[in-house]
Each structure stands twice: as C-alpha cells, then as structure tokens.
Amino acid sequence: MFSIPRHITRSQLLAILLTGAMVLIVFRLFYLQIIQHEYYVALATDEQVKRLEIPANRGMIYAMDGDNPVPLVMNQQVYTLFADPTVVDEPKKVDEAVRSVAGGNLVVEDVLSKITDKSSQYKVLAKNVTLRQAELIKEKKLKGIGFQRVSQRVYPEGEMAAQTLGFVNYEGKGQYGVEQELNDRLTGKDGLLKSVTDVANVPLSIGKDNIREEPVDGDSVVLTIDRNIQAKAQETLLAGLQRSGATHGSVLVMDPNNGDVLALADFPTYNPSDFTTVTDEKVFRNVATTEPYEPGSVLKTFTIAAGLDRNAIEPDSTFYNTDSIQVNDRTITNALKGVTGTVTMQTALDNSLNTGMVTIAQRLGDGKEITRGARDTMYDYFHNRLGLGERTGVQIANEQPGILISPDDVQGNAVRYSNMAFGQGLDVTMMQVAAGFSAIVNGGTYYSPTVVAGHMDGSQLVREQHAKEKKGVISAEASAQAKEMIHQARTGYTSTDLPGYYVGGKTGTSQTLQDGEYISTQTVGTYLGFGGDDSQSKYVIMVQVSGENMNLEGNKHAMPIFTDLSNWLLGYYQLQPRA
C-alpha cells in the first residue's frame, strides 16, 4: 500500500500533485500546440476559411445595326422558384402569390397539390423568374418558399442568326456557331474569394491569408452580321421557300470588299433560348460552313475567271458547240440543248453550257485535252487562289473543308476536272464559294471571310482585323471582264432588278449523290451573284434551296430570293442609280 513519507507535509504533497498536474498539462499542450500544430491549423482553416468562387460574366454577342452594335445575346440573372412542402404553412396564400406574380413562369399546373404533397422537400414551381418578381414574392414573407439564382443567355432578337450564334448548354459551354468557336474568349476567368467567414458565410477581414481575385469577364464580341440584312435575308428566304415548297434553304450575304459576313440565314431554324426543344440536331448546323455540296453551275464563274486571267479566253472567244463533248471515255452534255454552232464564251455562260466550260479547261492546257498542266492551273485557281476545298477560317464551329481533288491524286484526272469546270465532282461550302466569288468581282483580292468585327470596350466598338487578304489572285482586268460577263449573264436572264444598278449572277442546279450515284429525283437550286453601283460591288449573295425528293432549280427557286434581297439591299445601302 502506498504511504506518504512522514517528513512530507500535506501542503508539500498538494504542491507536488499540482506540479505533476501542471507538467501533464504542459506536455499535453506541447503535444497539441507544437507537435500537432499543422493538423489543427488545417482543421481550423477548413472550418473558418471559405473559398468562394466569384463567377465571371460570359461575354455578350452583338450584331451591327448600320454602324452601331446592338445586342444579340445577353446575360440575365433569373431565379428558379421552389417550395419545401414540409415547411409551407399557408398553401393557399403561396398558391395565390405565385400565380399572381409569376403565373407566366410556372412549370406546374396545379401549384396547390404540389405544395401540399409532403413526399418531397424540393418542388420546383416556376423557372426564369426575374429579380423583380422574386422581390415581390419575398415581400409576402411566405414560409417554405425559396429561390435559386441562375444566369442564363437571353436573345432579344429571338431566332435571328441562330445557326451563327449557337447556344450555351447547361454546363455553361458554347455549342455550335460562334458560342462554341469563341468559347474560351467569351467565358472569361472566374474570380476567387478566400476568406474567414461567419456562419452566414459573410467574409470577415480578420484572417491573415485572405485572398480576393476579381473575376475577368469574357470578351463581348461584335459580329459583322448586320441585323437588318440578317432579318431581311431570313424573311426573303422564308418567303422564297414558301413559294417553291422547298423545305431547306440558306442565304449568305458577304461584303466582297473586306470578307465581312453580313448575313447567314438557315431554314429550318430554332430559337437558341429553347434549344432543348429541338429534336433534329441538323437544325443547329450552320449550313454555309458545315455542309459542303456540289454547287453546280455557279462555279462556271470560277472557270471563266481562270480562263480570262490566263488569257485562255476572251468574253467573245468562240467555240463550236454540239451540245456534247468527249473527255476520255466520258461524254459530257449540256443541260440546255439547242444553242449549237459557233458560240461565244458569253453565250456559254448565259446558257450555262457545260461544253463551253470544258473547252476553257482544255484551253488552259494544250487546247485539245485537259492536260496535267491544265489541271494544275485549275487547281491553282480553285484551291490556292480562290480558297475552294479548304477551311476559310471563319469563326463558326465545325467548319468543314470540303473536298477538292488535287491533280496529284489518282482521281484528279481529266474527267474529274472537266466536271469541276461546271461545278461537279467537288464538295465545297457556300462560304468558300462566296469568298472566292468576292475576289472575282472585287478586282482580284481574296479576303478570308470573317464574322467577327471586333469587341466592346465599355460602350465602344474596338474593331479587329481578322481577314487575311491575298492580292492579285486574278488581275484587275480579268476581274472586270468576269464581272461584266456575269452581269450580262444575269441581265439576259431576268429584268427584275431595279434599273440603274450593276447586278450580276449565275444560276446553279446540281444533282445530288445517293450511294455514289447521281439521282434525277432530287436537285439543289443555287444562285450566286453580286450587286452595287457602277463603281463597286457592295454585296455578294449566295442562295441555296433544297428538299427531299424535290427537283429545285437555281433560276426558278433560288434566283427570286436573290432578286428580292438584292433589290432591298440597293435601297438599304442608299445607292443612287445611274441617270
């Protein structure tokens, strides 16, 4: 048994015990504060310091209205209104308040039954509720009602330029169009707030390691799209499709003097704010950049330009037309027959004679055959100079390069190039064709097309130079001659243009391929033209119409759309007719 030595007094014993206890406490404190220091600091930091993300605003997207930017895509903070039925104590009042303030935003028909059903604690009652509506409901101080804030894209112009814009999915990522292509630029960089907070997550400045990094909002991009031209393009396209019965159509309007895309209209279309209701993914695609096709006879303007620039032909050069021409083992015939005998190249263009274009291809070689040299020359003009068969670099997602077979390829033979001379045997996009055609009619400078005019700095537009230019892809003289030939080709065809202006164009009706064979039951109608005054072309328009199992023609179904839009554009640009 433990016994206390006699010489130790009780007070000494107490002192020893206390000292012992103190030593234990000191050791324990040493362990907690020195040995376990890092662990407890981390634990405390986790508890007290919050990392709050400050979301950056996604950049807006503007279009032009003349010289002024106008918003096409904006951001809006909206709220999702939800109820917790287990907390709601006055269901009738809640029903009345929600219906009166946010009746148009309800996502449920019977609010009362939803908020009395206590099987779930989270019932969404309304979506896209505005701040004002949320405030009005909050003022009623209803129990069991909550709001969840979300940022969403809004489109004041509705469906306008939907396939050019694209949309933003629920993860905040741009899909299709400019939204996808310029996603990084539009997204910005989220900020960070690392701070000691109280229980209500209010940041306090008492911490020594507080961090506040301000968010960097995404760039607000200004498109070259002119909303007036875009709206008119959509309107004329829709009217044209209703006249023809075609189910699909696209219109591209470009400024030939700088490569600015002024309008890109597609039908069928959709409203980007309701992208979830779209059932066919094809509706999202921008046809002019993502769907290469055989454009048909509109490409005869390219062959004419190459022939003129190489001095292989003049507008009044002649050839003997028999409505067919032999290329190796193939016989190429004209769609329009009867314009036979000695005819000029102008007549060949006016009547869209395939034989004339094959003749030009031959004259680019030895005059008799489409030699390797002739094919190299055609490839040089079509691909290297005028940009067919490669991506243009326009800032729209999923742009396709198309297919233009090189003479180096085994398929790049004389038959292939004879077909290419009148727009078959190659797959190109409307964007490529319009950009190349712009170079033909603007004096010979190729501008890579662009849909981005610049960005906003506050309320000011800062212009950006995106378009690459290649000067002298054809000579100014060849350009003037080609332009006049295209003008003659149109004026000989139609008298629907406003008098006193300089308008030209070429039709195209192309067969479609099914399982590698051309079918006769489905054709695509195309029209490609320019317009302006005598001094300068102000616009290039390309129209395409199509429909399943429909024979649509360039002159009957696409050209009227061009004419309507062209006549309107002459007025829009306030061009004066020659006296």
Residues that bind another protein (CB under 8 A): 70-71, 74-77, 130-132, 154, 156-158, 160, 202-206, 227-228, 231, 576-577, 579
Of 220 and 544, CB closest to another protein:
220
* Torsion angles phi and psi, residue 292, rounded to 5: -65, 150
- Residue pointed to by tokens 């000191």: 26
Least separation in angstroms between residue 571's CB and another protein is 8
Per the CB < 8 A criterion, the answer to whether 408 and 286 are in contact is no
User: Can you point out the beta strands (E) in 123-186?
Assistant: 123-129, 145-154, 167-168, 174-175
Could you tell me the two tokens for 270?
């959709």
Of 232 and 375, CB closest to another protein:
232
- Residue pointed to by tokens 């709220």: 79
Per the CB < 8 A criterion, the answer to whether 223 and 177 are in contact is no
Of 77 and 242, CB closest to another protein:
77
Q: 416: exposed, middle or buried (C-beta count within 10 Å: 0-12, 13-18, 19+)? A: buried
Of 78 and 467, CB closest to another protein:
78
Of 57 and 175, CB closest to another protein:
57
d(CA 266, CA 161) in angstroms, rounded, equals: 8
Least separation in angstroms between residue 455's CB and another protein is 17
Least separation in angstroms between residue 69's CB and another protein is 11
Least separation in angstroms between residue 265's CB and another protein is 14
Of 14 and 202, CB closest to another protein:
202
d(CA 167, CA 370) in angstroms, rounded, equals: 47
Least separation in angstroms between residue 577's CB and another protein is 7
Name 530's bridge partners.
Answer: 504, 540
Of 65 and 117, CB closest to another protein:
65
Residue 311 per-residue DSSP state: T
Least separation in angstroms between residue 200's CB and another protein is 9
d(CA 456, CA 59) in angstroms, rounded, equals: 9
Least separation in angstroms between residue 162's CB and another protein is 14
Of 119 and 574, CB closest to another protein:
574
d(CA 527, CA 544) in angstroms, rounded, equals: 7
d(CA 471, CA 446) in angstroms, rounded, equals: 6
Of 205 and 465, CB closest to another protein:
205
- Residue pointed to by tokens 């099987």: 119
Least separation in angstroms between residue 171's CB and another protein is 22
For every residue of 69-82, DSSP letters joined together read EEEEEEEEEEEEEE
Least separation in angstroms between residue 199's CB and another protein is 13
d(CA 170, CA 172) in angstroms, rounded, equals: 5
d(CA 170, CA 162) in angstroms, rounded, equals: 18
